[in-house]
Each structure stands twice: as structure tokens, then as C-alpha cells.
Amino acid sequence: MNLSDNQIVTLPANAFADLPPLKELDLSHNQIVTLSANAFADLTALEHLDLSFNKIVTLPANAFANLTELKILNLYYNQIVTLPANVFADLTALKELHLQSNSITTIDRNAFSSFASSLTALYFYGNNLQDYSLSTFEELTNLTRMFSTIVNCRCKNNYGK
């Protein structure tokens, strides 16, 4: 379903409750600032979600709840600053994560835990990553493509110290 370029500003909880099963949802090029918890919870068959070119600053807990079949998540060209713990908790099948060209400075050491063994591609360039644990990336055991620039890092060792 293509809902791009529609001036959408917010996505309330259960925004897609009455839709038939979708495999793809394109919400790119809108004005989305806020994702509510459980906004996509009813889209359990979704495999590709595009939220690129919006104005998202924060990702709330459960924003991607029940998206256990999601394989590709596009969040590039937003204004995301932090990736908190378990923000992607239900994304156990995720293969590609596009986070490039945001304002990400901090990643919690458990942000990627749910898809550590499934993720094969991480696009992360164009951010200003400064605070993260080295183990955050080391646990991505099947990663074959990582596109990133890391500058001014206040890196924590594998023990979070």
C-alpha cells in the first residue's frame, strides 16, 4: 500500500486495524513526527515498511510491536537522535535496517538484540554516533553489509564501562 506524499503528520495506535493483510507499506515523504506505540500492531504479515523522508525524532517502545515478519525497515532521512533499548523488540526476522542520514548520537547496547542473528545489512552513515557499546555491533553475527561512518566516539567496551 502506497501512502507516500500525503502530508501525514502522526500515526495513532492501531492506525491500520481494519486493513487486509499487507506485505508492504510505504509512508515515505510525509510529515510524520510522531509514531504511537502499537501504530503498526495489526500488520502482522508486513514484510517491508518505509518511513523514510519524514520528521521522526523519537521511536517509542512498541512502535513496531507484532511486526515479526518484517524484513526491511527504512527509517532514513528522519531526525532520530537515540535508539533506546528494545525499540525493535519484535523485529525478529529483520534483514535490512536503513538508518542513514538521521541525527543518531546514542545507541543503547540492546537496541539491536532482537534481530542480532537475522540482520544482514545495516545502513548507518550520515549520523553523528558518539555513545555506544562495542558489543552492540559485535552481536550482529550475520551482518554482511554495514555502511557507516563513526566519528567522535565515546565508545564503551564490551562490558558497558
Whether the Cβ atoms of residue 63 and residue 87 lie closer than 8 Å to each other: yes
For the full predicted model, state whether its pTM sits above 0.85.
Answer: yes
Which class in CATH covers the domain with range 1-161?
Answer: alpha beta
Q: Of 82, 76, 74, which is closest to residue 100 (Cα–Cα)?
A: 76
From first to last of its 161 residues, the chain has per-residue pLDDT tens of 999 999 999 999 999 998 889 999 999 999 999 899 999 999 999 999 999 999 999 998 889 999 999 999 999 999 999 999 889 999 999 999 999 999 999 999 889 999 989 999 999 899 988 877 777 888 888 988 887 765 444 444 443 33
| Cα-based torsion angle of the residue sequence 100, 115, 30, 44 in order, rounded to the nearest 10 degrees | 170
Name 136's Cβ contacts closer than 8 Å, sequence gap at least 6: 107, 108, 109, 111, 112
Burial 47-60 (b: 16+ CB within 10 A, else e): bbbbbbbbebebbe
H helix and E strand count, the chain: 1, 10
Neighbouring CB atoms inside 10 A of 143's CB total 17
